[in-house]
Structure 1
Amino acid sequence: MGFTSIFLGIIIVLNIALALTIIFLERKDASATWAWLMVLLFIPIAGFILYLVFGRRISGERIFTWDAKSKLGVKFAVQEQLRALEHDNFQYKNKDLAEYKDLYYLHLSNDDAILTQDNSVDIFTDGKEKFDALLQDMEKATDHIHLLYYILRHDQLGKRTADVLMRKAKQGVEVRILYDDMGSRKISKKFLHRMRKAGVEIEAFFPSKIPKVNFKINYRNHRKLAIIDSKIGYIGGFNIGDEYLGYNKKFGYWRDTHLRICGNAVANMQTRFILDWNQASRHDIVYDERYYAYEKSGDVGVQIVSSGPDSDWEQIKNGYIKMIMSAKKYVYIQTPYFIPDDSLQDILRIAALSGIDVKIMIPNKPDHPFVYWATLSYIGDLLNAGAEVYIYQKGFLHAKTITVDGKISSVGTANIDVRSFRLNFEVNAFLYDQGLSERLVDAFCKDIKDSTQMTKKLYRKRSLGVRFKESISRLLSPIL
């Protein structure tokens, strides 16, 4: 018996053992289980390696050692708000909050997402405007600047950002950057060294201990946060790179949504940053009142909601479902990737069948081909139910927004796909304010003018080649 036969025999035995583990021990949802079994069956050697890298569950107790002490103050505030809700004596500052008490309770009780009611919010849909504002705010910093981004590049925008950060660090401002090791895998070490030398503290999230080999590659920090002096916070879809300014020839204009928040919601964004930083760094940020010296500004209700493989529930997805369930008139969604699980697909279908105006906007070009083809496969079902689907044509649509009835909205980092709901660390702002939601609706309607509608007639005209790509991609969608 030759080496090849022995090797293949070992792989077959290991794959059988792995298949039994997937079915009986890990108990993934049925679609993910079948997808992995198909991969192991048809590409046994590559499938075995792929599962070890992308398919394993990592024990929360072993990996996610968030410092519980950092959340003591949070727990107290959560219990205080829960008691007020239970005794019906919570003080709402606007009627929109009272109407969506169940959504607020969902996030408060399951994610410790404290409701804040003293916020003002600016919306950015253009990268140049967003980064001009961010850089100006950082220039004015006097105490600290905290940045968390999935992608950090050493291109023109990255260098502009670094110049401001180094200048502020030399002035005595505390500057910290946390980036995702996989998302920023092309970052220059010289670029990072230059910033560190100037006094900027930099950490990578889940870095690879072996060059070019990272067994935590499937668990990425996809969050984008910026906190300046505890008074200003940024959250949304833009990363730090020239493509987000529209300078990439492949994608062209980059359409995204980002928020600038002033008010007590910034304290919750700060907590999220500190928890993530302390997970990645040996030099923990110790609680200090100056990190929570927010200033009240406006009356917009905001909850900062996080989810990830360390969460007990798929919290952001649950929030999306609860929002859609509450719809009386319309649901408008923008997402670069639309790969809903059965629960989300069902609730959207039921909403459309119930006469709710469901509009979904997706890009016209892929940055990840399999994900793009899978997205196209899911929209047909909703078209048949009466939903409207728009294909954004002006450039690349990267916004992650949901708006319901012009009263409540969500803006953040979570896409509508399995990766965002179960594998990535994500963060969204859930917004309770009619004026703000109407501004997001206006932006959506403006984007419709730069889009083409995918009708049922056009959808049926797809070529056999396109349908084949969609079918294969949809089959693999639970593990993309």
Structure 2
Amino acid sequence: MNLFTYLPSAIIISNIIFIILLIFFERRDPTATWGWLLILTLIPVLGFILYLFLGLTPKKRKTFRRKQHIDELKNMSKERKEELLAEVRSNFSKLERNIIRLGFQAKTTALVGYNELKIYTNGSDKFNDLFNDIENAQEFIHVNYYIIQNDKLGDKLINLLAKKAAQGLEVRLLYDKMGCRNLSTHSLNMLEDAGAETAPFAPFILDINYRNHRKNVIIDGQIGYLGGINVGEEYIGHSKRFADWRDTHLRIKGKNVDSMQHRFLLDWNFAYGKELFNEEKYFPPKNINDGSPVQIVSSGPDSKEQIIKSLFLKMIYGAEDNIYIQTPYFIPDQPVLEALKNAARSGIDVKIMIPDRADHPFVYGANHSFVGSLLESGARCFRYTKGFLHSKTISIDERILSIGTTNMDTRSFKLNFEINAFIYDKKVAKEHEEIFNNDLKYSDEITMEDYQNRSWTLKISESISRLLSPIL
């Protein structure tokens, strides 16, 4: 008997099993549950494949259970937290104290320290400084990227890392297997032949839905980089499709580099499968005793708490004057959407900036599907037109700012491993506001009239994308 005769029946039975799992065993957001039920019912064959790779959470729990356990073992002591909370109580405003305390709830949250900060708004400036810092490294270089393209910029990074490894420095490259799918085996072999170590994060195909979206580099334990800029020619504006690439990245020099180092070592230990201990050489003394207070916070599917999302919500609810957000993917869940709407209704100046084009299917429609309700609430939305906007920032009241890898979407909140810097410095927050206002010069405001007169094709795209938004 031909096995293909039974294939449709087998798929239907599998779909029924998945539906039972969804209803009775999976503790999902109800909107995500309904989304998957609809897909499994309407397109059983494709739905079966999609759910196998993108929907199974038992695999996630099993895959990352060991990682969560390792991270918790490295959690800061209760005594150290109490010591830091005492410092927080004396040096920060009530809202800042509340946000910092909430950040401490993360199992591996970083500490509040003092740091010299530099904000980058394009990839060219960031990579000029990054390559210079790598060239001047003396002890070790730890690199973690979501995307490294197999192009001129990617080759330059790989060649520089190989050069430093050949000089005797410790060089480690942690890369996301899915995001770096174009990174050549030749490049990895060249690094390893030079003495560097490499490790893919979540390389198995059933882990495809849970990605290491972090982009952080630590050099000699003194300098750290994090933000939205990956490694590739498009990120420095050399792309016919996107032209100018507008992004935000951060260079940190100071005490919180230890926090970034701690995060890297935890991720490395999980991916490499071999413990790299927190030796003192990775946490050298810092000579900076002034600068910006910063809290490094990471989140991911290995934790039940969506801590970065919770901190965003705390910022939104704590805002008194303004909330400025830049994100390439504006697909918020209901709590975030309602928080923004309520803020706008309260008279707070809420501005959301999104791209005027998409780099992924459905994203453009999904972004716009949430615009209408925000406009009705009094928020203002803008499309950035000078190239592609990939910046991931949120600031309130010219006093608190977050820069990192987290998009304002469900995937970043629930499925990706992310890292953000929360900055409690009016001067730096003011600098970001000036950057935001400059970007407004290259943006078109989406008025209610514009939204109501949008094309029927966009309306269809919005409807489909909104329906799929819980699983995008």
Give TM class, smaller chain.
Answer: over 0.9
Query: TM-score under structure 2 normalisation?
Result: 0.96
Match of 2:169 in 1: 173
Deviation at 1:167, TM superposition (A): 1.6
Deviation at 1:284, TM superposition (A): 2.8
2:456 is the alignment partner of 1:456: no
2:362 is the alignment partner of 1:370: yes
d(CA) in 2 for partners of 1:3, 1:171: 58
More off after superposition, 62-71 vs 193-202:
62-71
d(CA) in 2 for partners of 1:99, 1:30: 31
Query: Percent identity over the alignment?
Result: 45
Q: Do the aligned partners of 2:327 and 2:392 also contact (CA within 8 Å) in 1? A: yes
Secondary structure at the aligned position of 2:180 is classed as coil
Q: Do the aligned partners of 2:71 and 2:107 also contact (CA within 8 Å) in 1? A: no
d(CA) in 2 for partners of 1:259, 1:2: 59
2:108 is the alignment partner of 1:116: no
What is the 5 A alignment of 1:52-63? 52-57=52-57, 58-63=59-64
Compared with structure 1, are the counterparts of its residues 116 and 362 closer, same or farther at alpha carbon in structure 2 (3 Å cutoff)? same
Compared with structure 1, are the counterparts of its residues 215 and 68 closer, same or farther at alpha carbon in structure 2 (3 Å cutoff)? closer
Compared with structure 1, are the counterparts of its residues 302 and 373 closer, same or farther at alpha carbon in structure 2 (3 Å cutoff)? same
Q: Which amino acid aligns with 1:14?
A: S
What is the 5 A alignment of 1:83-102? 85=85, 89-90=86-87, 94-96=91-93, 99-102=95-98
Deviation at 1:264, TM superposition (A): 1.0
Q: Deviations over 1:288-321 (max 9, x none)?
A: 1010114143331111111111012111111100
2:346 is the alignment partner of 1:345: no
More off after superposition, 21-30 vs 177-186:
21-30
d(CA) in 2 for partners of 1:287, 1:6: 54
Q: Do the aligned partners of 1:263 and 1:294 also contact (CA within 8 Å) in 2? A: no
Q: Do the aligned partners of 2:74 and 2:108 also contact (CA within 8 Å) in 1? A: no
d(CA) in 2 for partners of 1:117, 1:51: 43
Secondary structure at the aligned position of 1:284 is classed as coil
d(CA) in 2 for partners of 1:152, 1:64: 27
Q: Do the aligned partners of 1:230 and 1:291 also contact (CA within 8 Å) in 2? A: yes
2:283 equivalent among 256, 272, 292: 292
Query: TM-score under structure 1 normalisation?
Result: 0.94
Unaligned runs of 5+ in 1: 209-213
Deviation at 1:282, TM superposition (A): 3.3
Q: Do the aligned partners of 2:357 and 2:364 also contact (CA within 8 Å) in 1? A: yes
Q: Deviations over 1:219-250 (max 9, x none)?
A: 11000000000000001000111110000110
Q: Do the aligned partners of 1:227 and 1:234 also contact (CA within 8 Å) in 2? A: yes
Q: Which amino acid aligns with 1:162?
A: I
- For the aligned residue pairs, the C-alpha RMSD in angstroms reads 1.9
d(CA) in 1 for partners of 2:271, 2:9: 41
What is the 5 A alignment of 1:292-371? 292-297=283-288, 298-371=290-363
d(CA) in 2 for partners of 1:91, 1:332: 25
Secondary structure at the aligned position of 1:146 is classed as strand
1:219 equivalent among 210, 222, 245: 210
d(CA) in 2 for partners of 1:167, 1:198: 7
Deviation at 1:80, TM superposition (A): 2.2
d(CA) in 1 for partners of 2:349, 2:199: 44
d(CA) in 2 for partners of 1:313, 1:370: 27
2:231 is the alignment partner of 1:240: yes
d(CA) in 2 for partners of 1:225, 1:294: 20
Q: Do the aligned partners of 2:262 and 2:278 also contact (CA within 8 Å) in 1? A: no
d(CA) in 2 for partners of 1:72, 1:218: 26
Q: Do the aligned partners of 1:93 and 1:117 also contact (CA within 8 Å) in 2? A: no
Q: Deviations over 1:83-123 (max 9, x none)?
A: 563xxx42668545x54111100010234424322211110
Match of 1:436 in 2: 428
Q: Which amino acid aligns with 1:174?
A: E
Match of 1:190 in 2: 186
Q: Do the aligned partners of 2:106 and 2:297 also contact (CA within 8 Å) in 1? A: no
d(CA) in 2 for partners of 1:371, 1:404: 26
Compared with structure 1, are the counterparts of its residues 65 and 395 closer, same or farther at alpha carbon in structure 2 (3 Å cutoff)? same
d(CA) in 2 for partners of 1:68, 1:477: 31
Q: Do the aligned partners of 1:336 and 1:415 also contact (CA within 8 Å) in 2? A: yes
What is the 5 A alignment of 1:39-58? 39-57=39-57, 58=59
Q: Which amino acid aligns with 1:259?
A: L
More off after superposition, 107-116 vs 282-291:
107-116
d(CA) in 1 for partners of 2:3, 2:220: 63
Q: Which amino acid aligns with 2:213?
A: H
Q: Which amino acid aligns with 2:431?
A: R
Secondary structure at the aligned position of 1:185 is classed as coil
Compared with structure 1, are the counterparts of its residues 3 and 231 closer, same or farther at alpha carbon in structure 2 (3 Å cutoff)? closer
Deviation at 1:196, TM superposition (A): 1.4
Deviation at 1:166, TM superposition (A): 1.5
d(CA) in 1 for partners of 2:462, 2:11: 30
Secondary structure at the aligned position of 1:215 is classed as helix
Compared with structure 1, are the counterparts of its residues 30 and 143 closer, same or farther at alpha carbon in structure 2 (3 Å cutoff)? same
2:132 is the alignment partner of 1:136: yes
Q: Number of aligned pairs?
A: 470
Q: Which amino acid aligns with 2:192?
A: R
d(CA) in 1 for partners of 2:287, 2:309: 29
Match of 2:32 in 1: 32
Match of 2:463 in 1: 471
Q: Which amino acid aligns with 2:266?
A: L
Unaligned runs of 5+ in 2: none
Q: Deviations over 1:172-204 (max 9, x none)?
A: 111111000000111111121112111121111
Deviation at 1:17, TM superposition (A): 2.0
Secondary structure at the aligned position of 1:36 is classed as helix
Q: Which amino acid aligns with 1:254?
A: W
Q: Do the aligned partners of 1:119 and 1:296 also contact (CA within 8 Å) in 2? A: no
